[in-house]
Amino acid sequence: MNQDLAIATALPSDVPALQAIAAECGLQVDFPAELSRSYARLWVARSNAVLCGFLLAWRAADELHLTDLGVTASARRGGVARALCAALEREGRQTGARVILLEVRESNAPALGLYGSLSFRELDRRPRYYADTGEDAVVMQLELG
């Protein structure tokens, strides 16, 4: 992993860079709204002080829902997503979360591989979950407790 990688809570000043990463990754996230939600956890990854990735999760009771994860193309396969997921897992364990849940496109082999390597297990499938393609979602979970 990049020695100069830092994970931190996102700031309002990060929004333009976050929007650029989301657009590059094909994600639609309302970052200003997420920053104002008490249940949202929005972290950024910086490599040599340049924002290169983000993770958004929502806390609901004793569950964390990983809703969006994006990494710039130039930083992919460099440990950024893994570091962001590790931060989420630490947060979950420190705050008594029981499980981390997520949905991922069944065709997203890199993401499925990443989550599998982090001990997430397939829980279910949601047929035709993604409206843009009609693709199924794979529901995955990581037990924390």
The two structure tokens encoding residue 87: 């931060």
Rg over alpha carbons for the chain, rounded to the nearest Å, is: 15
Based on the residue annotation, tell me whether 106 is a catalytic residue of this protein. no
Please state, in angstroms and rounded to a whole number, the distance separating the CA atoms of residues 77 and 110. Answer: 9
Say which range, 8-22, 36-50, 122-136, has the weakest mean pLDDT. Answer: 122-136
As a whole number, mean pLDDT of residues 110-137 equals 93
Q: Indicate which residue of 24, 39, 91, 103 is catalytic.
A: 103
Task: Answer whether residue 27 shows pLDDT above 80.
Answer: yes
The CATH number for 57's domain is 3.40.630.30
**What is the span of the domain harbouring residue 18?**
5-143
Domain count, the chain: 1
The single-letter code of the amino acid at 19 is Q
Length of the chain: 145
Question: Is residue 75 left, alpha or beta, with left meaning phi > 0 and alpha meaning psi from -120 to 50?
Answer: alpha
Based on the residue annotation, tell me whether 63 is a catalytic residue of this protein. no
Q: Which of 84, 88, 123, 119 is nearest to 104 (CA)?
A: 123
pTM, entire model: 0.93
Q: Indicate which residue of 24, 34, 91, 115 is catalytic.
A: 115
**8 A C-beta contact, residue 128 and residue 93:** no
Please state, in angstroms and rounded to a whole number, the distance separating the CA atoms of residues 24 and 16. Answer: 12
